[in-house]
Chain A
Amino acid sequence: MFMPLEGVRVIDLTHYTAGPYATRILGDYGADIIKIERPGGGDPARRIGPFYHDEPDLEKSGLFLFLNTNKRSVTLDFKTEKGKQIIKELVKGADILIESFPPDVMPNAGLGYEELSQINPQLVVTSISNFGKTGPYKDWVGLDLTLYAMGGNMWGSGDPELEPLKTAGRMASFHVGYAAALASALGLTNAELRGQGENIDVSYFEVTLQSIDGRMQKLLGYQYNNQVPMRVSPGASLGLGSGIYPCLDGMFMTTAGAAQFPNMARMVGAEDILTQPGWDTVAARSRPEAAEEWEATLIPWMLERTTKEVQRACMEFGVLGGPVNTIENLMNDEDFDARGFWQTIDHPATGPLIYPGFNSRIHFEDGERPARRRAPLLGEHTAEILKEIGIEGEEVSLLRSEGVI
């Protein structure tokens, strides 16, 4: 089994969600991730819940544990002169450096792209920031909510009579991290092919602007017909047979629309309607009233069935639909189990827990499946990594007493 990023070393100066997600992905593909954490507190994500048994503890944050598998942790204050020298020493043997500080922090610390590329001309430096390194908003602050509001498809999300809604949790941050992983892989490809390093500027705002989550399309669509489309309820952009409906044991989301309606009619045993006036052609079914008329047939059918029964019917008849699940339902879903998606990872502070599995599955010839190493304890690998760059013994004690590590 050869992991695609085996032998690739990443210096990870990121924190919170987006950057650590990027390096989590690179670690999954086999890269050696050296996570630089602040002495004392470490990555602030360690202080953010959810905590194991709700006990706040630097080693018990579910967010941190999830985001930082397959990494080694070094505590290091890179704003000290010695800390900076250690970063520079690490950079010599690195392929990628990822950071997520505001745009001026790294250059002000003497660790900007110019300095780093002099040490290692093939180095790929990936910077993740709210608005990118240039432009009038470059120093603005933000978090998932405010950045998604500006860049993402928030204005068009929700009910027309209510306020716009963001995506759940830290979703936009994860998307930014994923884009940063892709950008880093592209930079690495060029570095290896052409011997030219790269200076990558990932803008959270722009990643959400170019997301296929409805935003990118609408930005071109606005150019096409000057439409600023109002919010619509779920699936309702296609109207007929589209929405969230009550079932015996929960709710179910379907999408049909005038074009794909026939399969849904067959699914509920109402295929006769397809020959009736007002229902026999796509144009006829595009009547605005058709959606409400159809619900008189669809909703009673749904109410007699469980979400699982409706799901099976959708699969059989080729109707687009899915159960409106809780996370608990998801984690008990037959498919993810059968595919072996979930992973059990042991950790000294929490014992074994179930984690989301790999984003992709490489079909290795020998059928092997890679494993994940648990998230590191704060500074767990400090001595080990310093030794790799020739720092050991008393020198380590000195760095420790000076607060550098």
Chain B
Amino acid sequence: MGEMTDSIDFSRFPDAGGHFGPYGGLFVAETLMAALEELRDAYLGLKDDPTFQAELDYDLAHYVGRPSPLYHAERLSRQWGGAQVLLKREDLNHTGAHKVNNTVGQALLAKRLGKSRIIAETGAGQHGVATATVAARLGLECVVYMGAEDIKRQMPNVFRMKLLGATVVPVESGSKTLKDALNEALRDWVTNVDDTFYIIGTVAGPHPYPMMVRDFQAVIGRETRAQMLAEYGRLPDALVACVGGGSNAIGLFHPFLADREVALYGVEAAGDGIETGRHSAPLSAGRPGVLHGNRTYLMEDANGQIIETHSISAGLDYPGVGPEHAWLKDIGRAQYVGITDGEAMRGFHELTRIEGIIPALESAHAIAFARQLAARMRADQFIVVNLSGRGDKDIFTVAAREGISL
């Protein structure tokens, strides 16, 4: 892999049009172009502005609770009998996941642009909660679109959003999951474009979202890099993160892209197994296409229609993936693997019982793959796993799967 990517200057991506190689770009109706250009110009104007960065840093430190710890899971490492496993504790952030890193940043932008209304899409509800949270703090109206199916399986987060003052709109179209929520949020934005800021929760969508959300999430990787050097005097050997849209993964990976000796593993939801077709693993089993404003790997049928996905984890249940991941896969800089529902459940229980940390089912996919990887590595090597969220929201799903009534 090293030789192929040696000549690439990763800091030059995306290009001015939002392209990562053949992926990304700006595939939306003309009705959204002005809003996306306004957002792009505002973001490019502010991202290197010291006042804006200072404001963001303050919020990340005092509101989100950063830096998040890099925790050495010693018992787990011993149990797995291979590499040392370190957990980047994004689950300890305010609201319980990495999502808030991005919503805090976009909320600051919304404020600068003078928008009075915030909208978002959400799958598992983590991004919806993180958006409702920052909207409450800024006193902005907040509307969250959520698939009717997801509302059923993520009731605790739905109630949290409502407590925070957000309106949660059930989306009944299509497969009634995250992709349909995204369609509906885009329709809202087109209609209310003058006063509304759309906070996309992942590194997918039209330019500048994949770049901007990545930049806001890259705090994860920057901290990890500094923590590794300070604590261990070296970089990790491998990074592991789950990939739905891919924001926690790109946030961890991005500051390490130029460190060719650090292996990168993105873990997709293999659902019932890639071979069954019931999964959410476009990088493992999909092909390139165009959806939701960008070109990327998609789960689609032979005629280009988007197909329904499956994962035990609502946050990974999405037929696309961020375009930068699609590019990193093609150039060989990152590897993408699948973990089934069953393997993720095992990872969920293992981390809970051995380390006393209940992970989100999304993050449990990363844990489950780290187990396989650690066993192939030496005890003097280090794996950093992004523990992207905590699992409180998932206890009902786990109980239901295991036939336990609460």
Partners in one complex: no
A→B interface (CB under 8 Å): none
